[in-house]
Structure formats: C-alpha cells, structure tokens
Amino acid sequence: MEATDRQPKFWSNAQTYTMATICMVLGVVMGYLVHAPANANANVPAASAPAQPAPAAMSMPSPQDMKRMADKQAAPLLAQLQKDPKNPELLAKIGGAYMAAQQFPVAQQYFEQSVAIKPDPETMNALAFTYYSLGDTDKAIATLNSAIKANPKNSKL
C-alpha cells in the first residue's frame, strides 16, 4: 500500500479524555494565577493582614442621602407644582423621583394625588409597586386590578 492511501489514525477515547483533562487543569491553574488576589501571592496570613475599609465611592448611600438626592431631583418639579397643583403628570413625575430613591411613603402620597385627579394606568402601576414596597400587598393588587379595568390592553401592566 502507498503512503497516500492510508487512513489517518485518530486518537482513542482514552487519549481524547486525557488531553481534555490536562487542558482543563491547565486552564484552571492559569485562570487562578492570572486572576488571583494580589495578597494571595504574598506569604502573609489573611488574619494578620489589616482590614481595608471600603472606599467611599463604593459604599451604598444611606437612606438620608437617598432622601436628599430625591429632594434635590424633585425641587424643580415641586416649584412647577406650586404654579399648577392639579397637574397629574407632574405629580406622577415627583412620585417617580421619590420612588427611584426608595422613599416610598412620599412617593405614595404624590402617586395617590395624581391618580385621584386622573386615573392613569401607568401611574396606578407605579402606585401599586409603592404599596407593595411598603408591604401592603392587598392595596397593590387592588390598584393593579383597577389599572387593568381602566386599560385592559396596556402591555406595561
């Protein structure tokens, strides 16, 4: 037989699994070496290393900080509200600013005022979320049911 007529010989199953295992182990070792923490390479025990406080930029804002941010964001809207106190869209925007800052009791007040003037399904949805966040599941469900009755084809509910 000529050399060109020979079929190439493939690896056996055992050889394939062995090579896959070697590649996997090398990948894990290389991943550990590349992504290991910097102090893991130093021979310093973890208990003796001083604890580093988290940087201020990485910490979560306090509830007071969230309230201040919401007040700052809502300030121009509140100034507009002085001129037009029965504007349901403006009331809903103010409620949304407080809801985004997790100030749910204040958001609830503005959403309720907005829905009382104009029962908009999207505002009612936000009000239901506020009720749910405050732990009043029954009011949340009732509000969602009212929003569905107001606009059954609304895809956002």
Tell me the per-residue pLDDT of 40-95, one tens digit each, with 9 for 90 and over.
Answer: 555 555 555 555 555 555 688 888 888 888 889 888 999 998 999 899 999 999 99
Q: How confident is the model at residue 113 (pLDDT cuts 50, 70, 90)?
A: very high
Assess if residue 20 is contained within a domain: no
Assess if residue 38 is contained within a domain: no
Assess if residue 130 is contained within a domain: yes
Q: Which residues contact 87 (CB under 8 A, 6 or more apart)?
A: 80, 81
Report the number of distinct structural domains present in the chain: 1
Assess if residue 92 is contained within a domain: yes
Q: How confident is the model at residue 26 (pLDDT cuts 50, 70, 90)?
A: confident
Assess if residue 50 is contained within a domain: no
Assess if residue 118 is contained within a domain: yes
- Region 125-140: mean pLDDT is 94
Assess if residue 39 is contained within a domain: no
Please give the pLDDT value at position 107.
93
Q: Which residues contact 107 (CB under 8 A, 6 or more apart)?
A: 95, 96, 98, 99, 126, 130
| Containing structural domain, residue 84 | 62-150
Entry pTM: 0.60
Please give the pLDDT value at position 37.
65
Long-range pairs of 11-14 with CB within 8 A, sequence gap ≥ 24: none
Assess if residue 86 is contained within a domain: yes
Q: Specify the CATH number for the domain of residue 73.
A: 1.25.40.10
Q: How confident is the model at residue 10 (pLDDT cuts 50, 70, 90)?
A: confident
Please give the pLDDT value at position 17.
86
